[in-house]
Each structure stands twice: as C-alpha cells, then as structure tokens.
Amino acid sequence: MISGKGFLFTVSVIFFTSTLVFYTQQYVENNFFREEGIINSSKLASQPFLNNDISFDLQRIFGFTLETEYSKDLNIKVTGTLPRGFDVQQKLSDYNAFLYGTFFGRTPGTKTIDLANLADGKAELFIGSLVECDFDYDNNVASVYPKTGSTLRYVDLNIDANAIDFNRVEWVGSTPEAGDVLLKINYVDNRNSFSINTSIGPTAVNKLAIVYNAASLTDINAYVTIGDDGVTTSAVKIDTDASRQLDYSLFVSYLASPDTNYLPIRFNAGMTYSERQFSSNSPIKVGN
C-alpha cells in the first residue's frame, strides 16, 4: 500500500516530468522556428548584397565611379577613362558567363540578370528621374545630361591625358558668352597643361576643341561640350578618339525642382531574385 506521502511524491514526479517534457517540446519548436526565421532573413538579406557586388563589378568593367550629394542642388561626381583599352562587350559577355557559371550557383536563391542594354555599345545610369549618365564605349564618349529640364549651375572638369603632342585648345565657332554656369577645366598630359576658368550659358553651344599634332582642326582628338550638345541643353559631354587615352574627373551641379525624384541611382540593367516567399525584379542599383 502506498502511503499518503508516497502518493504525493509520485504525483509530483509525474507532474514535474510532464511539465519538463512540455517546456522541452516548446523550446525545441520555438528554437526551430527561430532558426528558420534567421535562415529566411539571411536569404532575404542576400539580395542587396548581390546587387552591390554586381554594381561594383560593372563599374570596374566600364571604368567609372558615380557619386551624388543632395542639398539645394544635386551634385554629381563621375570619374572614368576613355577609351577603356579593351573590348568592353567581350568583358560583359565574360562577366555574364561568370555569373551564371559560378557566382549565382554559390549564393542562395534563384537569379537571372539582363545586361543586354549595357552590351549594346553604351552603358546608361539613371539618377532617379533627374539625370542620365552615359558611357558610350563604342564611340569613346562620356556625357551627363538632365532628363526633367533641370538647369546646369556648375562644372569642374579635370583631364589627365596620355599624350605628348598637344598643339592648342580653342573654342569651336566663337568664344562663349558669359552666363550662369561657372566652368572650370584643368588639363594635363605628359608634357603640357592648360586651365580655363569662365562662365557660360547652359543653353548655348559651348564646344571646346583639344587639338593635337598639326594646327588644323581636322586633327582634333578631343572635344568638351557644355550646354547644348545637339540633343538637349545643360549637358556635359567628353568626346575623344582611340589614339589617346584620357582619365577624367567631372563634378557637375544641377538646380532641380523640389519634387524631383533623386533616387535610386541605377544601371540600365535588371536582376530577378526569388527565395521561398520572397521575390524581386529590380534594376541594378549603385549603392544600397
């Protein structure tokens, strides 16, 4: 016969064991869901990291960087090299093969990428709905121009050219009339240099020729156009041939309307990504 104390002890042990089993099961289930949530979160978080990696690689292929700053004006800094010195389309083809053959297989999710609009001879970057930055690698041209009628206010251009036969610099047509755009150009090559500090109008055709070799304008090897570039106004365009490579650093400032959409900065290329309950189809963005 079980005494009263023994009975209470047995009941207590059974209750304690049942409670322990219950909380152990709850802990295991909660821990499972917590781990699953962490895994899912890490998978979702991998999409922006993929975007940043691809954006960085594309900028290296095209040889330029793009930075922006927003205050009263939109300030843009673009640095690059013209010409690239290699077959850009082949580099893009090789990169596309690397993504599908190696990189995508080592990262979570299902991904596709479309680089067709970058492999057609010209790469475009859009700064919100305000400005477009083009890198025409087939024709060795880099340009920045507004998309919504914003006005150019300031241009600071630095050129470092690989040349020894600089002849002169001159404005094509006539010397620009004074305007609202402050313009600074500093040029240096292996033997020569020049500087320009003036003001010009943003809607006029202001075309500067950098002349090499002979004294004839037929020997021009580079142009800098500010204002009307034949397509739009308030543009800045750097145009060179393949005989001389130049590095450029361009700072421009635009006065934009208050309701202008500045973001995001994106390539004219897109990536689709899906993993479990998450999916996206968006352009390749510069930065986050």
- Report pLDDT digits (tens) over 228-278: 999 999 999 999 988 889 999 999 999 876 656 666 899 999 999 887 777
Residues 68 and 130 in one domain: yes
Considering the domain boundaries, does residue 139 fall inside one? Answer: yes
What is the band of 49 on the pLDDT scale with cuts at 50, 70, 90?
confident
pLDDT higher than 90, residue 220: no
Joined tokens for residue 66: 């793009």
Residues 119 and 214 in one domain: no
Residues 146 and 271 in one domain: yes
Considering the domain boundaries, does residue 12 fall inside one? Answer: no
Element (H, E) at 5: helix 4-62
Considering the domain boundaries, does residue 10 fall inside one? Answer: no
Residues 166 and 142 in one domain: no
Tell how strand 181-188 and strand 151-161 pair up: parallel
Residues 93 and 212 in one domain: no
Residues 49 and 116 in one domain: yes
CA atoms of 140 and 241, how far apart (whole Å)? 6
Q: Give the least confident one: 20-34, 99-113, 178-192.
A: 20-34
Number of domains in the chain: 2
* 97, amino acid identity: A
Residue with more model confidence, 126 or 279 = 126
pLDDT higher than 60, residue 216: no
Q: Which residues does 24 contact at the CB level (< 8 Å), separation at least 6?
A: none
* 216, amino acid identity: S
Domain of 93, in residue numbers: 42-150+256-288
What is the band of 193 on the pLDDT scale with cuts at 50, 70, 90?
very high
> CA 261 from chain center: how many Å?
16
pLDDT higher than 60, residue 66: yes
Q: Are 260 and 150 in contact (CB under 8 A)?
A: yes
Considering the domain boundaries, does residue 220 fall inside one? Answer: yes
pTM: predicted TM-score of the whole model, two decimal places: 0.80
